[in-house]
A and B are shown apart, each in its own frame.
Chain A
Amino acid sequence: MRYLAFCLLAVVSLVSCSKDDPTAGKLTLAFTNKVGSQPLVLETGQYTNAAGEAFTVSTLNYFISNIRLKKDDGSTVSFPGQYFLIRQADSLSRKAIVEQVPFGSYSSVTFTIGVDSARSVSPVSERKGVLDEASYGDDSMYWAWNTGYVFLKLEGTSPVVDLNSAGQRKYMYHIGGFGGMTGTTANNLRQVTLPLAKAATVTASATPSVGITADLQKLFNGKTLLKLKDLSTIHSPAAGTVVADNFPSMFSVQ
């Protein structure tokens, strides 16, 4: 009987729609990936890092999350549910459109590089959009063997790296590690706060775009100078910390 009552309820239940907040708009974070002054061109671009090592880039992906905007008056607005995966191979993905931004004028932006620990351990029902494993194909940003997201993935070749079994001189930086489900493991989540060059004003008719540069030159030479010869493959949280420590210095506002 309860089953039937439940079914009757299902028949008559209506889907309710939520209306957009009429006092909120959008703000775009437009990411440009570079290597020093050179534009990043996958596969064919030739670069040299601060250690003097030549390298190419075949993949660059990273997560941007937990965006916070600071208003001129000092108050902040957070956007905890909005996750972005910036992929060099997909120009659309490089424009992170933050939604539900209250109208106002903003003077700085804060974001996390990676996926916070709460969402890293969330049930599959909460892994939507760029957090959905089914969205990745072969270019996955999820560690299936050690539950967690790859916060930043950088792959390419360099003549200083030893040949692998496939005859390639490939380097692979898979940087993840949210601190661990049980016990404490490396936490490679890093946050960056960038003052805007000029205030970004969100109104009903204006969607400001904030240009952000991510410089791989700084990824190799931030807090620590990295050498591909010494460090060419990273697939675990602990090994990735030295790279994560360089994350904050790679981002700047244009």
Chain B
Amino acid sequence: MRRIAILLGLMVAACGPRKERFVTPQGFPQPVYAFDRNPLTREGITLGRRLFYDKTLSKDGTISCASCHVQSAGFAQPGQPVSVGIFHRKGNRNVPALQNLAWSTSFFLDGGVYDLDLVPIAPIRESAEMDENLKNILAKLRRQEDYPLLFQQAYGTEEITGERFLKALSQFMLTLVSADSRYDRKELSFEEKAGEKLFGQHCSACHSGPLFTDGSFRNIGLPAGEDPGRYRISEVEKDRNAFRVPSLRNVAVTAPYMHDGRFGTLEEVVGFYAGGRGQGAEGKIRMSEREQRQVVAFLRALTDHAFLRNPRFAPPR
């Protein structure tokens, strides 16, 4: 009996990380992330979470991914119009919320990156964010006492490579699934239901489906600033000042809004569209003040409080 126990122990040790099932919420499409290339494991997610919250990733050790992507704010940066990096350096754009990333076909407000595994390299390298490079980060991790063990638990050996680092971060970020708002539970009030109907008429052409985005890039008619948006990637004139349509899940907690964080409240955002200044997919939108309040009420019902409080997404102990 003891021999069997030892054998079982050896087998588990040899096998290493335990598979973790990715659950697609009811009504969601099939995820686009290639899970076959990076199967989720309990240990991989644990490592990714540890890295996500580790300030070692920044050049001077002062910020982590979570410094700008705050759970209680839907993994956006609360109150900051544009990102704030090391030495309080200001970035160019509002921090995007992180959720339901397994369904994203492109990342960042201009869609310059199309593979979640390559996403962390951008904020790491950006001088106004972490201003670091992957080579240095891996060297720093190798010097820390617990990382070799964490990598071994996740991948079977202590080797710390860029691929393993990036895949672990992806694993954690992929678990950030939000699909449990009152809207999902079908618990909308009369006012919110009225807002839902208006949303369907005026907003859902772009903020479509269960993800509340069609993943496209649109110029919504904001005054053109210095940021060329999607043009920076496509270099096609029609994409100038176009930005990725964001999901609206948890939108009530991700203020401020727009690519440059110019609007502080949802009322301002909806007012921008309803005043005929904003350009929806179907052209100008006109809504009464009452209708605007109803749309805002609906947007507030997209907040997934369980997601914002989920202890599995919180800083590791």
Contacts and interface: CB of A to CB of B under 8 A. Distances in A.
Contacts of A123: 34, 37, 115, 117
Given A127-B163, A137-B136, A186-B235, A146 B112 contact: yes
A125 to B, nearest CB: 6
B161 A134 contact: yes
A54 interface: no
Contacts of B90: none
Provide the main secondary structure of the chain B interface.
helix
Interface residues of B, number: 39
Contacts of B182: none
A231 interface: no
Interface string B89-110: 0000000000000000010100
A216 B291 CA distance: 64
A133 B134 contact: yes
Interface of A: 3-4, 6-8, 10-11, 121, 123-125, 127, 132-138, 140, 142, 144-147, 180-183, 185-186, 236-238
Given A11-B10, A137-B133, A147-B113, A236 B232 contact: yes
B242 to A, nearest CB: 12
B131 to A, nearest CB: 10
B235 A125 contact: no
B115 A147 contact: yes
Contacts of B124: 144
A147 B118 contact: yes
Nearest to B120: A144
16 contacts: A10-B15, A123-B117, A124-B115, A124-B162, A124-B163, A124-B166, A125-B163, A144-B113, A144-B118, A144-B122, A144-B126, A146-B233, A147-B115, A147-B118, A185-B235, A186-B235
A134 B117 CA distance: 13
Contact of B122 (A4, A136, A145): A145
Nearest to A3: B15
Given A123-B117, A136-B133, A145 B108 contact: yes
Contacts of B232: 145-146, 236
Interface in B26-51: 34, 37
A121 B114 CA distance: 9
A132 B133 CA distance: 12
Contacts of A133: 121, 134, 162
B293 interface: no
Nearest to B124: A144
In this complex, which of B14, B15, B235 has the most chain A Cβ atoms within 10 angstroms of its Cβ?
Answer: B235
Ranked 10 nearest A-B pairs via Cβ:
A134-B162, A7-B15, A7-B11, A144-B122, A134-B134, A144-B121, A146-B112, A137-B135, A238-B235, A144-B125
Interface of A, secondary structure class, is: loop
B306 interface: no
Contacts of B117: 123-124
A7 B16 CA distance: 9
A11 B14 contact: yes
Contacts of A145: 108, 112-113, 122, 126, 232
Given A133-B121, A145-B122, 19 more contacts: A10-B11, A10-B15, A124-B117, A124-B167, A134-B134, A135-B135, A136-B134, A136-B135, A140-B125, A140-B133, A144-B122, A144-B124, A144-B126, A145-B113, A146-B112, A147-B113, A147-B114, A185-B234, A236-B235
A87 B240 CA distance: 36
B198 interface: no
B224 interface: no
Contacts of A135: 135, 162
Contacts of B112: 145-147
Contacts of B125: 140, 144
A4 B11 contact: yes
B8 A4 contact: yes
B5 interface: no
B121 to A, nearest CB: 4
Nearest to B106: A182
Interface string B72-95: 000000000000000000000000
B23 interface: no
B110 to A, nearest CB: 8
Nearest to A137: B135
A142 B162 CA distance: 14
B138 interface: yes
